[in-house]
Chain A
Amino acid sequence: MHPVFSSKNGLLLYLAGWIPLGAMLTLVVTVSGRFRWTEAASVTVPATFLLACVCLAPWYACRSLPLRSTPKEKLIINHVVAAMCATAIVMVFAHVLASLLSPVFPRLSQGFHSAGPALAGMVDMIYLLAIAVYYVILAIESSRQAELLSREAELKAIKAQVNPHFLFNSLNSISALTTLDPSKAREMCIRLSDFLRASLRLGERSSIPFSEELALTRSYLDVEQVRFGQRLRVRQDFDPVCSDFEVPPLLVQPLVENAIKHGVATLADGGEIAMSGQRVRDTLRVTIENPFDPDAPATRKNGFGLASVRNRLHARYGPAAHLDVQVDGNHFRVMLSLPCNIEPTSSAEGHALP
């Protein structure tokens, strides 16, 4: 999309930007042709307007001739020829206008020859300047796009990530159960598979119903329950109204995983994870609370889950969503709030690429 037309006030701003240029052209013609300024302006104002329209065109040329991949000769020839054509168009227009206006300003058509070269030079310069500006805009756009793409790649990597510590510890529990309690071992295999399958499947989608996210979290907790036994206690209170809200996948589960890893797992006697969710006006509010040991030995990758959830919320909703953390002595609370949305949001909506 042309940058001038990509925003609501783009065209107005663009034309406003031409006012000083038009004034400059008027000044040049006034001085070099020894006119009164009203005489000069009668030609230069319409000519400036025409030039403004003409200068919209090189955007497309710049886009099809990228600075980096186009041979220099081709680049120069193309733009110089275009600049000459543009200048010719504006000059012919100016001359015709000058002669048409000769009944009103008789001096105009005679004196215009002396002003011609200066005007042509200015027009040519302005056109080339427009090309330079367009290339700058293109460069900014491509760097922004690269950032967006790299962020998306990062998100994909996060989605595909299953915490190896969790995985191997769970497999170890299964290994222990095979002789102690074979049917429980089988049950845990199934729970673990459910969780892995769901996280792979849901990670592919850009948004899922909140109820599916909760089911995923539940299957994760089922596995952890076997590992931690009595040490892990869970209390949940979700308003059924929230079930159909569309949310990005793996938003709640990583937070619960954090609550276990940095919370319950650091306590010898374990603790309770309290989760709740309700709709408050147009937002979905989710709260996850857990006790933790403030003096616990440092766990690796501290805050990784939080940062990833926060980044994804920001990428999707901007300032409309947030994640707040409260630490109160040995109590940790994460509060998530995001816009309620019943309709599935497509991923293209979040990261519109031109």
Chain B
Amino acid sequence: MTIRAIIVDDEELARQILHEYLRSESDIEVVAECANGFDAVKAVAEHKPDLLFLDVQMPKLDGFEVLELIGSDVAVVFVTAYDQYAMKAFDAAAVDYLLKPFDLERFRTALQRVRRRLGEKAAQPNPADLKAAAQPPGQHARRIVVKDGTRVHIIPIGHLDFAEAQDDYVALHSAGKTYLKQQTISSLESSLDSTRFVRVHRSYIVNLERVAKIEPYTKDTRLAILSDDSRVPMSRAGYLRLKELMDKG
């Protein structure tokens, strides 16, 4: 079986060294090379590769965002220079990673892992959860990336009105549109700035700036009316959290 691979790195020399190391691997064929995240997402959709060598810091979309957008059918080997937080995430997720510069022996170890992984077809961790885990403490997501068919949407964090859990997905509501993304609401919550977004309900996160008024709903619950007239139910505990934040602000 031939393993079809794509190399993604914004530096040409970094791509070339992967090429060189791969030359001696007869079972691996490089089907595309990409210099930025957007091209990588496109190339993955087009070529449906088995393996992706992925740099983390790149123009347009970073490595984690690419991972979120391509789904989890591809074995990914991260290739990065230095990123202490990302390494933690790689470790936890058992996706292999190479630290630049790396030698041929280390590269072959990674390929062995890839072959084993492809043989097993083991379940990959959810990429969105991985992205949240790679977040340095005290830093929050500045934007959310969502794929809709072949199109990539980037939602700046300030444009997110509220998010709603729907089974394995979250529905992200932004400027009257709804985007579905495969992620748990808890992991979305942990990637957001807790002084701007509140988990007002088991299934809802709301952008504090959008809350226009609050109305009673049932005996124990209330409704948050947003500035675009969306209605978001709040549990008792959720309402208290929101109120605490609003009092602080």
Contact = CB atoms under 8 A, between A and B. Distances in A.
Contacts of B116: none
Given A168-B82, A297-B65, A267 B101 contact: no
B202 to A, nearest CB: 29
A339 to B, nearest CB: 36
Given A171-B101, A172-B101, A300-B139, A268 B59 contact: yes
A179 B65 CA distance: 32
Nearest to A185: B13
A227 interface: yes
A164 interface: yes
Interface string B22-57: 000000000000011111000000000000000001
B37 to A, nearest CB: 8
A168 B16 contact: no
Given A172-B14, A176-B20, A229-B12, A293 B59 contact: yes
A173 B81 contact: no
A228 B11 contact: yes
The interface size bin for chain A is 20 to 34
SS class, residues of chain B in contact with chain A: loop
B240 interface: no
Nearest to A297: B62
A168 B101 contact: yes
Contacts of A255: none
Interface string B128-165: 00000000100101110000000000101000000000
Contacts of B142: 297-298
A339 B83 CA distance: 38
B213 interface: no
Given A176-B16, A176-B20, A179-B20, A299 B57 contact: yes
Contacts of B154: 295
A81 interface: no
A172 B57 CA distance: 15
A167 B100 CA distance: 10
Interface string A264-296: 011110000000000000000000000001011
B216 to A, nearest CB: 39
Interface in B97-141: 99-101, 136, 139, 141
B13 A300 contact: no
Interface in B75-95: 81-83, 85
A127 B123 CA distance: 81
Contacts of B38: 268
Contacts of A164: 81-82
A295 B13 CA distance: 26
Nearest to A299: B57
B59 A267 contact: yes
A189 to B, nearest CB: 12
A226 interface: yes
B13 A296 contact: no
Interface of A: 164-165, 167-169, 171-177, 179-180, 226-229, 265-268, 293, 295-300
Interface of B: 10-14, 16-17, 20, 35-39, 57-62, 65, 81-83, 85, 99-101, 136, 139, 141-143, 154, 156
Given A173-B11, A300-B136, 14 more contacts: A168-B82, A168-B99, A169-B14, A171-B100, A171-B101, A172-B11, A179-B20, A180-B16, A227-B13, A265-B57, A268-B60, A297-B61, A297-B65, A298-B142
8 contacts: A165-B83, A168-B82, A172-B13, A176-B16, A227-B11, A229-B12, A268-B35, A268-B60
